[in-house]
């Protein structure tokens, strides 16, 4: 019997199950033991009895047959807590399971429990009043990011191979970058949301935190495709895993811009140097054509925040403002800021004007280039307890700088992927590649080439 969870990728674990080298029940028991002994605080809820029953009945011929799965606590699983990581909602229980999770379970994945997240997915720091501080397995004094921080910590920390995430402003890519994982924000609608899907700000995509490109491709094979509960979901596309590497000829000769300060972001010099070196290597590997562009991406932090706060208030309901003292400082500030501004018609008009300006700027950018390469984060992971930094590699800015590199793709809806490319001061750095709408397969192939030519560690160094 294995004493530690599988330290390879999920596809390799399925192969081991099929070969009889490991058994799903054995794997789950090792996973539960590792979670119990972990200092990462990556899980807020576990359902071991149901998980053991599912592992015992697992069909290993399925795509993820027998693979333990962490589910971000902002997702819904019927009968499990549905708290939005907020004390004010601590007693809420989900009355349904999301389509995304149902598809993963239908493909054989074994739900273990809920991974920690930031309140309402609002900040790139996973520290809440309800759950405490979640830590980065590369350095437990640092954050794994947010809002999918628990999922990233669990996968990079060797607790399990797969966990769900959601990306409304970088919440898959940011933790992936901070913990050395692959993080794909798909084209909006690629994986459906729902049921009971609130359209809201049209920024959130769902997906996973994985250790390898083939894991992400298999995830798409399982989870993509239209669903009647999501009016914005896209038609199904097959062959993601089988097609890895099939688009290299299509990539050759495409125009690419390497932009250090994308969307006006301030990036630490060390991060910028590492990402630029990795980007130049990828340009050579793929035969891309470098171009220089001068496109100004407008500041969209305020528009993004206001658009998403409407959904937060909808969930808080009549608990606001009495619940203000139960919120983390970041979420309380955001709620009070939005409440004082008021979401009146004037504010909504200004929001749409800024969003339209971003759409036009991004459209202009993608008429001049096919791909954009930049950093995922402006610096390496900061302190696990917070606060959000305003200094990046010695360069001063504001806290809003933390999401400048990722938010534009959420508002515009185009795909973007974070690829591990090395470390600075012992902490992972992610390179972000952005593409046009529906270019998800091209981004996977770009990541596949990086993984092949410069493999990254599948888990953080050190013991589980």
pLDDT tens digits for 38-96? Answer: 999 999 999 999 999 999 999 999 999 999 999 999 999 999 999 999 999 999 999 99
Residues 6+ apart with CB under 8 A from 333: none
From the list 72, 185, 272, 305, the catalytic residue is 72
How many of the other CB atoms lie within 10 Å of CB of 247? 18
* Mean pLDDT, the chain, integer: 95
DSSP string of 223-284? H-S-BTTBTTPPPP---TTTTTTTTHHHHTT-EEEE-TTGGG----HHHHHHHHHHHHHHHH
pLDDT tens digits for 401-432? Answer: 999 999 999 999 999 999 999 999 999 999 99
Query: Residue 342: is its pLDDT beyond 70?
Result: no
Residue 171 is among the residues annotated as catalytic for this protein: yes
From the list 38, 44, 151, 171, the catalytic residue is 171
pLDDT tens digits for 380-402? Answer: 999 999 999 999 999 999 999 99
Cα–Cα distance, 421 to 177 (Å, whole number): 9
From the list 147, 151, 375, 409, the catalytic residue is 147
Task: Report the pLDDT value the prediction gives residue 397, as an integer from 0 to 100.
Answer: 96
> 3-class secondary structure for 134-192?
CCECCECCECCCCCCHHHHHHHHCCCCCEEEEEECCCCCHHHHHHHCCEEEECCCCCCC
Residue 418 is among the residues annotated as catalytic for this protein: no
Which domains occur in the chain, in start order? 10-301+345-453 (3.90.1300.10)
pLDDT tens digits for 104-157? Answer: 999 999 999 999 999 999 899 999 999 999 999 999 999 999 999 999 999 999
pLDDT tens digits for 290-334? Answer: 999 988 898 888 778 777 787 788 888 889 999 999 899 988 988
CB 411 within 8 A of CB 200: no
Model confidence, pTM: 0.96
Percent of the chain with pLDDT over 70: 97
Among 163, 156, 215, which residue's Cα sits nearest to residue 464?
156
Residue 72 is among the residues annotated as catalytic for this protein: yes
């Amino acid at each position: 019997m294995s004493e530690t969870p599988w330290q390879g990728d999920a596809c390799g674990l399925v192969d081991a199950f099929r070969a009889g080298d490991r058994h799903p029940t054995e794997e789950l028991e090792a996973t539960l033991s590792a979670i119990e002994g972990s200092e990462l605080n990556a899980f807020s809820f576990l359902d071991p009895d149901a998980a053991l029953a599912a592992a015992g009945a697992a069909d290993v011929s399925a795509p993820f047959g027998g693979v333990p799965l962490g589910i971000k606590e902002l997702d819904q699983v019927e009968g499990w807590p549905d708290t939005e990581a907020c004390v004010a909602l601590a007693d809420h229980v989900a009355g349904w399971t999301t389509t995304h999770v149902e598809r993963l379970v239908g493909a054989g994945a074994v739900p273990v429990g809920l991974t920690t997240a930031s309140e309402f997915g609002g900040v790139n720091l996973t520290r809440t009043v309800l759950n405490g501080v979640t830590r980065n397995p590369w350095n437990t004094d640092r954050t794994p990011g947010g809002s999918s921080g628990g999922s990233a910590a669990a996968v990079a920390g060797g607790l399990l191979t797969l966990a769900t995430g959601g990306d409304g402003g970088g919440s898959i890519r940011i933790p992936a970058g901070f913990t050395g994982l692959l993080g794909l924000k798909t084209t909006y609608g690629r994986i459906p949301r729902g049921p009971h899907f609130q359209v809201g700000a049209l920024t959130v995509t769902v997906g996973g935190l994985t250790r390898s490109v083939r894991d992400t491709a298999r995830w798409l094979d399982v989870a993509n495709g239209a669903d009647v509960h999501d009016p914005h979901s896209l038609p199904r596309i097959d062959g993601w895993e089988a097609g890895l590497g099939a688009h290299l000829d299509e990539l050759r000769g495409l125009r690419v811009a390497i932009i250090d300060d994308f969307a006006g972001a301030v990036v630490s010099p060390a991060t910028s140097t590492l990402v630029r070196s990795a980007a130049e290597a990828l340009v050579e590997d793929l035969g891309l054509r470098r171009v220089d562009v001068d496109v100004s991406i407008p500041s969209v932090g305020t528009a993004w925040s206001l658009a998403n706060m409407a959904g937060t208030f909808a969930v808080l309901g009549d608990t606001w403002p009495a619940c203000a003292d139960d919120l983390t400082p970041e979420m309380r500030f955001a709620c009070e800021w939005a409440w004082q501004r008021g979401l009146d018609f004037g504010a909504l008009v200004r929001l749409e004007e800024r969003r339209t300006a971003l759409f036009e700027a991004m459209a202009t950018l993608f008429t001049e280039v096919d791909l954009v390469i930049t950093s995922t984060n402006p610096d390496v992971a900061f302190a696990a307890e917070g606060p959000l930094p305003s200094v990046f590699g010695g360069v001063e800015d504001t806290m809003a700088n933390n999401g400048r590199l990722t938010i534009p793709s959420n508002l515009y809806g185009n795909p973007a992927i974070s690829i591990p490319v090395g470390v600075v001061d012992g902490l992972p750095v992610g390179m972000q590649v952005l593409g046009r709408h529906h270019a998800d397969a091209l981004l996977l192939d770009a990541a596949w080439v990086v993984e092949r030519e410069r493999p990254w560690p599948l888990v953080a160094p050190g013991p589980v």
